[in-house]
Structure 1
Amino acid sequence: MGIDRSHIWLTRAPFHDIVPGKQAIPIGQIDLPITFGNPSNYRTKTLTFEVVGFPLVYHAILGRPCYTKFMAVPNYTYLKLMMPGPHGVITIGTSFQRAYECEVKSYELALATLASKELATIRKDIAKGAPNAKRVARSFEPTENVKEVLVDPDNSADKTVCIGTTLSPK
């Protein structure tokens, strides 16, 4: 964006869930004036942005802090952002073609990230904590005071049920 780095102040608040299983530390934060509208009907507010050092499809992501400050309402179906202005409603929109182009770039970036060495390391870390895929998941699995009992001792030796040893005879 051509902004001098001296305008960025340091912060150590990490991002979560941008890179799976890992936190990302931003370079810092910056306050920027943001204007919506046209010369006859506009609003300007200063927003604080986190500055990150990895490639993104978007130059800036506007979220709840922006919507709150501008009292804006996003409509994702019509790709519109509407907010009150001094001379009526301000409507910002884009085309479905532009949204599709951004989606394609996001997909390409995701594929490039999947191929990276860093993601391979992340996958190893996640795999260590993942449950055993061969193990059958049950809705209720007691961890102690359990014994296995054959369902039908005469016909099948491999079908068992787990019964808690602390249950009453009833």
Structure 2
Amino acid sequence: MWFEVVDLESPYHALLGQPALANFMAVPHYAYLKMKMPGPKGIITIADDYQKSLACVAASSRLTESLVIAEEKRLLDRMVAMAGEKPDMPSDPKDTEAQGSFPPAKETKKIALDPTHPERFAVISSNLDNK
């Protein structure tokens, strides 16, 4: 979607999108920073200069960068706060496996996944059907 910014000496300012440009039958030319549209007494030409355009882009870039930095800082502060609330993670991942959220079935059996590596196994309930 395209927008036109027109700097008018008026208390009202507008961003015109593609539907508005079509309604006004306006033709923007971005390389020359001009826009033409039909008016009651002939063609209306709105022109701007590159200095204002570059200043506007620079200001917009600074604003965007400051908003992004503020949002990243907010997310980082949130992550730091969440990390402070959680208990320390155990250094051994196998310790967390033992503290699973589901209690194991009372009657289980170990099934070897790889005969050459006996430490690789699955624990299943011994009450399962053969299907």
User: TM above 0.5, one fold?
Assistant: no
Q: What's the TM-score, normalizing by structure 2?
A: 0.43
Q: What's the TM-score, normalizing by structure 1?
A: 0.34
Larger proportion of helix: 2
Larger radius of gyration: 2
Larger proportion of strand: 1
* Structure ranking higher on relative contact order (CA contacts 8 Å, 6+ apart): 1
